[in-house]
Amino acid sequence: MRALLIGAVESSRIAADAIAGAPGWTLAAVATLPPQLAHRHSDFVDLTEAAAGADAALLHVPNINSDEFLLQMDALAPDITFVIGWSQLCGNAFRKAARERVLGYHPAALPRLRGRGVIPWTILLDEKITASTLFWIDAGTDSGPIVAQRYMHVAPDETAASLYDRHMTALRDLLAETLPRLLADECPGTPQDDSYASWAARRRPEDGRIDWTRSAVDVERLVRAVGRPYPGAFAGDGDRRVTIWSARRQENGQVHHALPGQVIASTEDGFLVRCGDGASILVSDYAAPGGKPPPLHSLVGG
């Protein structure tokens, strides 16, 4: 079975390794972003080594729907095209060039949370259960028949990094199970029930700005949701910008009369910031000007 892989992140690397190592499969080419467009993904991964290890051609592609790339697809003649870790929608001409055999991956329990930024959204929405999903790509957005799903609980203290890693483990397992089935043509897919569908809007780095008037629970959840490998939660701008990578809510033993966003204490573990509900968060991992925590009683990033 001849495969084309399109992607630019860690899930793409995992897919390349899985396809190349699966009996009966040949990874003909890996299509990925040119280095100058790596900024499109905060979790961008260079797939040069993965392609070389699979003896696959490496194609740098800004737009998979371009006429130039569609001609390359015709020449490659893949039996199945895998689109895993790619942000562009697959247009009609693309799917036609792929003979409507385009398999996608989505780190959510489809039909729930179709769309973008779903790992941060999973945490922000306080989802209790999520899933890794392989599905046939159709004309919609993450709406095609489901080939395989691996469900998992979302921990109360889940971070973007921990959930990301768990999805990568699930993807390895899904591919190990699914590639032999695809080879045997045993994956028609199960149609999604649109009555249960929800959609996640794109998130941008600016969406990580902390509103200190929110509760400590809300602020701590934002920090967990947009941390590594994403751009992070932050306060302030320019040379006063503080990026917060890790924080946890604290029950204050004392009453601090302070403004939301004000530093109320420094500890060996970091510094405490008052939030809008009077509770505070302990910031333990951060990037600040000069590498130093904000001064006591100052406004974080202010």
pLDDT at 255: 72
Give the strand pairing for 233-235 and 242-250: antiparallel
pLDDT given at position 131: 98
CATH topology of domain 2-200: Rossmann fold (3.40.50)
User: Are 148 and 171 in contact, with CB atoms under 8 Å apart?
Assistant: no
Position 301 pLDDT exceeds 90: no
Q: What confidence score (pLDDT) does residue 247 get?
A: 96
Distances in whole angstroms, Cα of residue 29 to Cα of each of 15, 63, 137, 170: 12, 16, 19, 24
**pLDDT 10s digits, 8-55:** 999 999 999 999 999 999 999 999 999 999 999 999 999 999 999 999
* 206-291: CATH superfamily: Formyl transferase, C-terminal domain (3.10.25.10)
207: tokens are 């969406």
pTM of the shown model: 0.94
Mean pLDDT, rounded, of the chain: 95
Residue 252 has what pLDDT?
65
Percent of the chain past pLDDT 90, that is, above it, reads 90
**Per-residue pLDDT tens over the stretch 179-214:** 999 999 998 999 999 999 999 999 999 999 999 999
Q: Where are the domains of the chain?
A: 2-200, 206-291
Query: Is 184 in contact with 172 (CB distance < 8 Å)?
Result: no
